[in-house]
Amino acid sequence: MRDLFSEIMEALRHNKLRTALTGLSVSWGIFMLIVLLGLARGMTNNFEENMSNSSQARIEVWSGRTSKPYKGNREGRYIEFRSSDMQALKDEHEDFVENVSSIIYGNSLTMSIGSESVQAGLTGVYPDNLRNRGISQLLAGRNITDRDLKTRAKVLLLPKEYATLFFPGMPPDAIIGRRANCGGLSFTIVGVYDGRFDRSIYIPFTTAQMMAEKKDEVGALTVNLRNVSTEEDGMRAEDGVRNTLAQLHTFDPKDESALWISNRFVSSLKGAMATGILNMSVWILGVLTLLTGVVGISNIMFVSVRERTHEIGIRRAIGAKPRSILTQVIAESVAITVLFGYIGIVLGTAVTQGLSLFLTPEQGFRNPTVSLSIALQVTAVLVIAGALAGMFPAMRALKVKPVEALRDE
């Protein structure tokens, strides 16, 4: 092993410039592969994080206006969802509907705490709605619960911006349990959240329904699905929801303007497929870039074999086995590829670490760096590429006949 290592180093020193120029193309190919893999991983991380923060097995439905007359009803009619719609969807589609929830956007009212007051609207939600909106972790306190819904509890979640306004300099933990006056009703603050761009004040859906002028009217519907695993399952569930609502509100099921539907389940499947295609494309592009360096290394090894024909002939004449000649040539090729490849890995890793400081989840990237598993995969690609680069020169070396090689000068 030591002799083999010495022979490899001697070969590298003998062809310094040629090896360096060819190795540069290998380093560049691996560098680009690492950077692209890091960016692709950042996009994948952001997608997976968004998926984990909300239930993706769901369909969201917003009401619209009919665009065509149907069974005596004129076009342009506004569809208003009712509380009974939620129960009807669950009863008619028990096979794929787990539960149905909604949101009520209350009218603007005066909210006051102490001497401070603001005009704000209270948004009535189910616990599932909060998770779907990414409000799963609070700065302090707890979320709205099913018990709050059953008891129509007068509790609310306060955004950090309002908490800072009403309680300047006070930590979020100290705000929990304080009282807030909203439209003449006293509410208890049970949680404080940081919703970034979300400044809604959330209360239990049933409490908002009790405060609403039209008790039976509800907002957008969220249908949480079960027993769905394929895109076909998701589309069948969407068609079932549309047909049921069309029957309840007497509009043409094919009238797409009557309802606005977002099938999150199907979208998540397509998103996962897109990230898979992205990762595969990055690997293909990186390997093709690396291929130019591999061809260069193969050419170096051909030249090296030609220059060492006399040496190979002597070794064959004194009894060297073909396997030892083959091993030496391939080992030299792998050594060059791995050496310059790791330079590309180090530089690419440094660049992705730098990019992680500037690229944020809002820009579509989350931790765009390479993991240990990716580094190991790239190492495997380097070894295979080096072995392939040295295979053909090694086969040529085996064809050298000792007698002819000894005459070669």
Say how far apart CA 136 and CA 354 lie, in whole Å: 30
pLDDT band at 405 (very low <50, low <70, confident <90, very high): low
Which domain-ending residue is among 265, 294, 316? 265
Which domain-ending residue is among 218, 234, 265? 265
Say how far apart CA 377 and CA 385 lie, in whole Å: 12
Residue 175 token pair = 């705000």
Please determine, for residue 8, whether its predicted confidence score (pLDDT) is greater than 70: no
* Residue-level pLDDT at 129: 83
Please determine, for residue 397, whether its predicted confidence score (pLDDT) is greater than 70: no
pLDDT band at 192 (very low <50, low <70, confident <90, very high): very high
Residue 255 token pair = 């009238």
Residue 186 token pair = 């006293």
pLDDT band at 304 (very low <50, low <70, confident <90, very high): low
Q: Please give the model's pTM, rounded to 2 decimal places.
A: 0.66
Residue 296 token pair = 């260069």
* Residues 40 and 62 placed together within one structural domain of the fold: no
* Residue-level pLDDT at 221: 92
- Tell me the average pLDDT across 106-111: 83
Q: Could you tell me which residue, 16 or 92, shows the higher pLDDT? A: 92
Please determine, for residue 225, whether its predicted confidence score (pLDDT) is greater than 80: yes
Question: Residue 256 is which amino acid?
Answer: E
- Tell me the average pLDDT across 108-133: 85
- The tokens 């260069």 sit on which residue? 296
Question: Minimal CA–CA distance to 208: which of 109, 73, 312?
Answer: 109
* Residues 256 and 290 placed together within one structural domain of the fold: no
Task: Write the Ramachandran bin of 12: left for phi over 0, alpha for psi from -120 to 50, otherwise beta.
Answer: alpha
* Distance set, CA 294 to CA 34, 66, 165, 337, 383 (Å): 17, 63, 63, 8, 11
Please determine, for residue 151, whether its predicted confidence score (pLDDT) is greater than 90: yes
Taking each helix axis from N to C terminus, what angle separates 264-307 and 16-52, rounded to the nearest 10 degrees?
170
Question: Residue 280 is which amino acid?
Answer: M
- Tell me the average pLDDT across 54-82: 87
* Residues 278 and 254 placed together within one structural domain of the fold: no
Q: Could you tell me which residue, 360 or 246, shows the higher pLDDT? A: 246
* Distance set, CA 116 to CA 23, 180, 277 (Å): 69, 10, 53
Please determine, for residue 328, whether its predicted confidence score (pLDDT) is greater than 90: no
3 state DSSP class of 60: strand
* Residues 182 and 296 placed together within one structural domain of the fold: no
Question: Minimal CA–CA distance to 378: which of 343, 404, 351, 331?
Answer: 343
Which domain-ending residue is among 265, 283, 312? 265
**If you write DSSP's letter for every residue of 75-134 in order, what string do you get?**
TTPBP--BHHHHHHHHHHTTTTEEEEEE-EEEEEEEEEETTEEEEEEEEEE-HHHHHHTT
Q: What is the mean pLDDT of the chain?
A: 81
In contact, 73 and 251? CB cutoff 8 Å: yes
pLDDT band at 386 (very low <50, low <70, confident <90, very high): confident
* Residues 315 and 240 placed together within one structural domain of the fold: no
* Residues 62 and 208 placed together within one structural domain of the fold: yes
Per-residue pLDDT tens digits for 362-374: 667 777 777 777 7
* Residues 92 and 182 placed together within one structural domain of the fold: yes
What's the domain count of the chain? 2
* Least-confidence region, from 141-155, 200-214, 378-392: 378-392
Say how far apart CA 193 and CA 140 lie, in whole Å: 7
Per-residue pLDDT tens digits for 250-299: 999 999 899 999 998 888 888 878 878 877 887 787 777 767 667 776 77
- Tell me the average pLDDT across 332-342: 78
* Residues 152 and 88 placed together within one structural domain of the fold: yes
* Residues 254 and 274 placed together within one structural domain of the fold: no
| Domain coverage including residue 332 | 2-51+269-407
pLDDT band at 15 (very low <50, low <70, confident <90, very high): low
* Residues 335 and 359 placed together within one structural domain of the fold: yes
pLDDT band at 183 (very low <50, low <70, confident <90, very high): confident
* Residues 39 and 91 placed together within one structural domain of the fold: no
Say how far apart CA 295 and CA 112 lie, in whole Å: 74
Q: Could you tell me which residue, 275 or 104, shows the higher pLDDT? A: 104
Q: Could you tell me which residue, 35 or 187, shows the higher pLDDT? A: 187
Within 13 Å of residue 293, how many CA atoms lie on the same side as its CB?
34
* Residues 241 and 332 placed together within one structural domain of the fold: no
